[in-house]
C-alpha cells in the first residue's frame, strides 16, 4: 500500500468535485468555515462515503490503515471515479497485488501479429506496458520511423516523441497535451502495477523533465485513458497531416494496439493511403 500516493490521489479527486456535482439527495453536515477551494470538503466526502470524518482525514494525511474493499468502493462512488480510477485506487490501497515482473513482456501473441499484418495501409504498432514498441507494420515505418533501426531503449513511444520534438523530424506541430495526458495515464497505471521496474521509473522521470504537460498530468494522477488522440504531424514526404491515434487494449495480454487514421475523404486520409 502506497499511503502517500493514496492520500494525494484522494485529495486531488476530492478537489476536482464541486458541491453542485454531489447527488441531489446528499445532505452535508453544517460548517461554519468559509469554502476556500472549489472542491468538496473532507467532511462532505466522508458523509457521502458513510465513513467517519476522522478516518477520512487520516486517509488524506497518509496515516490511516489500509481501507477495506467496502470502504474503497464507497469512496470511489463518493468521488465519482471512472472504472480506470477505481482500479488505480484499488492498486494504491494494496487491494490488487503488484506484479513481480517488469512492464516489458517479450512474447507478442501470434493472433495480435496477424492482426497487425492485416491492417493494410493503416499505420499500426503494438506496445507493452512501458509503451515500448514490440511489433509494427510497414505503414507505421513509413509514417513514423524505421523501428528496426532503433535500439530497444529508443524503441519507446515516449522516447520517440521526445526525439521528434527535439529534431523536428516528422514531429508534431500541434498541441501535444492530449498525448502527454494519455502517456501519463498509461505509465501511471504501469508504475503502480510494476513498482520495482527501474527502467520504467527512469523513463517516467525523463519524460516528466522533458514535457511539462506530462509532468502536470502525472502530478494530478491522470489515469483516465484517452482512446483517441488527434495529432498534427509534419511528414518529410507527405507534408502536414491531421491524424487520430487510437489505442486498443488487446484482451488477455499485457499489450495494446495503436493505430493511426484520418477523417475519411480528407487530404490526410488520401496521404495515408499513399504510404
Element (H, E) at 114: helix 110-118
pLDDT class of 94 with cuts at 50, 70, 90 = confident
Domains in the chain, start-ordered, CATH in brackets? Answer: 3-92 (1.10.260.40), 110-273 (3.30.450.180)
Cα dihedral: 129, 131, 134, 136 (round 10): 130
| pLDDT at residue 3 tops 50 | yes
Q: Which residue has the higher pLDDT, 266 or 19?
A: 266
Q: pLDDT value at position 99?
A: 58
* Percentage of residues of the chain with pLDDT beyond 90: 25
pLDDT in tens, 118-171: 887 899 999 998 899 999 999 999 998 899 999 888 899 888 877 665 433 334
In this structure, of 33-37, 61-65, 198-202, the range with the lowest mean pLDDT score is 33-37
Q: pLDDT value at position 57?
A: 93
Most confident of 91-95, 123-127, 177-181: 123-127
Q: What is the mean pLDDT of the chain?
A: 83
CA–CA dist 3, 9 (Å, integer): 10
Q: Which residue has the higher pLDDT, 80 or 27?
A: 80
Say if CB 256 and CB 248 are below 8 A apart.
yes
Q: pLDDT value at position 106?
A: 64
What average pLDDT does range 52-79 have in this prediction?
91
What average pLDDT does range 23-43 have in this prediction?
68
pLDDT in tens, 196-243: 888 888 999 988 888 888 888 888 887 777 778 888 888 888 888 889
The model's pTM: 0.72
| β-strand partners of 239 | 235
What average pLDDT does range 237-251 have in this prediction?
87
In this structure, of 83-87, 160-164, 184-188, 233-237, the range with the lowest mean pLDDT score is 160-164
Strand residues in 13-159 grouped as ranges (E)? 124-127, 133-136
What average pLDDT does range 168-185 have in this prediction?
62
Nearest of 58, 59, 47, 49 to residue 10 by alpha carbon: 59
| β-strand partners of 127 | 133, 256
Q: pLDDT value at position 240?
A: 87
In this structure, of 25-34, 70-79, 123-132, 222-231, the range with the lowest mean pLDDT score is 25-34
Q: Buried (b) or exposed (e) across 8-32, using 16+ Cβ within 10 A?
A: bbbbebbeebeeeebeeeeeeeeee
Q: pLDDT value at position 90?
A: 87
Amino acid at each position: 500500500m502506497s499511503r502517500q500516493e493514496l492520500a494525494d490521489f484522494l485529495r486531488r479527486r476530492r478537489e476536482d468535485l464541486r458541491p453542485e456535482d454531489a447527488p441531489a439527495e446528499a445532505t452535508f453536515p453544517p460548517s461554519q468555515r468559509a469554502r476556500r477551494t472549489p472542491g468538496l470538503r473532507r467532511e462532505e466526502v466522508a458523509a457521502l462515503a458513510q465513513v467517519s470524518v476522522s478516518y477520512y482525514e487520516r486517509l488524506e494525511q497518509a496515516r490511516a490503515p489500509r481501507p477495506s474493499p467496502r470502504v474503497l468502493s464507497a469512496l470511489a462512488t463518493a468521488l465519482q471515479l471512472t472504472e480506470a480510477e477505481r482500479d488505480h485506487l484499488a492498486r494504491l490501497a494494496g487491494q490488487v497485488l503488484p506484479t513481480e515482473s517488469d512492464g516489458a513482456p517479450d512474447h507478442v501473441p501470434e493472433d495480435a501479429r496477424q492482426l497487425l499484418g492485416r491492417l493494410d495501409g493503416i499505420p499500426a504498432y503494438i506496445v507493452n506496458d512501458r509503451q515500448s514498441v514490440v511489433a509494427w507494420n510497414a505503414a507505421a515505418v513509413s509514417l513514423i520511423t524505421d523501428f528496426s533501426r532503433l535500439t530497444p531503449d529508443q524503441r519507446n513511444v515516449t522516447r520517440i516523441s521526445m526525439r521528434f520534438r527535439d529534431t523536428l523530424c516528422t514531429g508534431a506541430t500541434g498541441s501535444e497535451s492530449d498525448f502527454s495526458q494519455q502517456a501519463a495515464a498509461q505509465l501511471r497505471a504501469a508504475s503502480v502495477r510494476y513498482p520495482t521496474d527501474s527502467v520504467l521509473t527512469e523513463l517516467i522521470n525523463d519524460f516528466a523533465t522533458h514535457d511539462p504537460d506530462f509532468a502536470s498530468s502525472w502530478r494530478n494522477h491522470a489515469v483516465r485513458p484517452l482512446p483517441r488522440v488527434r495529432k498534427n504531424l509534419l511528414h518529410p514526404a507527405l507534408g502536414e497531416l491531421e491524424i487520430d491515434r487510437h489505442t486498443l487494449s488487446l484482451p488477455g495480454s499485457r499489450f495494446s494496439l495503436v493505430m493511426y487514421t484520418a477523417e475519411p475523404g480528407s487530404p490526410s486520409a488520401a496521404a495515408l493511403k499513399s504510404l
